[in-house]
Amino acid sequence: MSAAAPTLLADLGGTNVRFGIAHPEEDQPLVQESIRRYHVKDYASLADAAKQYFKETGHQAQRAIIAAAGRIDNGETVKVTNNPWAINAKSLAGELDLEWVHLVNDFAAQSMAVMLMSPDKVIDDKGTTELMQVGGAAVPRIGGKDEQTFVVVGPGTGLGVGGLLIRGDKVSVLQTEGGHAGFAAHSAEDIEILKVLNLRYGRVSNERLISGGGLQNLYTAICEISGQKPDEKITPEDITKRATDGSCAMCQRAVETFAGIFGSVAGDLVLTLGAWDGVYLTGGMTPILIPWIQKHFRERFEAKGRFRDTMEQVPTQAIMNPEPGLIGGAALAIVEAGGTPLRR
């Protein structure tokens, strides 16, 4: 724990790194105009990208919190999943002349972010709110009880899974690699999809279906099951575009199936963690797929046999703010400065 100071935030995924600056003592700790995005492939290391960020923006920082899409080893190193960079906290601090660098799992940061978000905050001229209710259950309320457990889950380049635990005034996060848990087929179509992907990959994880690459996998598997020839060059963006404009029936089925399986996976996580207080859906794909998530997520989420009645009462919200990793980093900066992001 240390006194508040300007903190460099980084949200590091497989494709992009986003930087921002936090002032932990402020009511709105993340400086919105400080946010910049860089392509990972354009830089040899995180340090090189950060130096370019400081050069372009003129911002300065005394410390850093790096939210990375990978497993953090002993709090000191991370090899980012789906990304060539390997990061050592002490080495990075030395290269950037910082007091310290703290590494956290990206979904640990996103789990913290929800404490600084509001379902009433409008984020664009279309009236989109920072948090959007999915389904008819009650809205999750952080700090509504002394003991709460939430799941934070979402697809992007991979599938991230985190947990948020509130115990009185204490807040902690579960840093997991739950996206790599094995896929559990629940329907006849799931079983056929699993057969196709099992031949391709052997073991099939949830991430093989619920991610950008997972959407492509679903599309090609559904084409194969239906006896259709897939477009070999199709991208996740192509699939969602063709599903939206109705030009491809296989793409429509793929996004519908994606949203349903996403619901199954999220529901399984609730059962596993006992996260009866709610689920936050995040990741780069969630805002894009929200029309299908609104239609197909909850049925599969609630379809848990003897626990259906219980699952019907578990609220789900989609994080629509495009920067949950940086907001979560700002929340962690508050904790590091001796404060709490918990707003009762």
289-312 pLDDT tens trace: 999 999 999 999 999 999 999 999
When pLDDT is cut at 50, 70 and 90, the band that residue 1 belongs to is low
In terms of domains, do 131 and 268 share one? yes
Identify whether 84 is part of a domain.
yes
62 and 193 part of one domain: no
Mean pLDDT (the chain) is 93
Residue numbers of the domain that contains 314: 118-320
Give the count of domains, the chain: 2
Helix H or strand E encompassing 272: helix 249-273
pLDDT confidence of residue 79: 79
As a dihedral over the C-alpha atoms of residue 272, residue 65, residue 318, residue 302, rounded to 10 degrees, the angle is 0
Domain membership flag for residue 110: no
pLDDT value of position 158: 87
pLDDT of residue 73: 83
Task: Produce one character per residue of 150-171: b if its CB has 16 or more CB atoms within 10 Å, e if not.
Answer: bbbbbbbbbbbbbbbbbeeeeb
pTM summary value: 0.89
Residue 96 shares a structural domain with residue 139: no
Are 295 and 148 in a shared domain? yes
**What would the pLDDT profile of 223-261 be if each residue is shown by its tens digit?**
999 999 999 999 999 999 999 999 999 999 999 999 999
Q: Based on the domain organization, do 147 and 128 belong to the same domain?
A: yes
Burial class (CB in 10 A: 0-12, 13-18, 19+), 62: middle
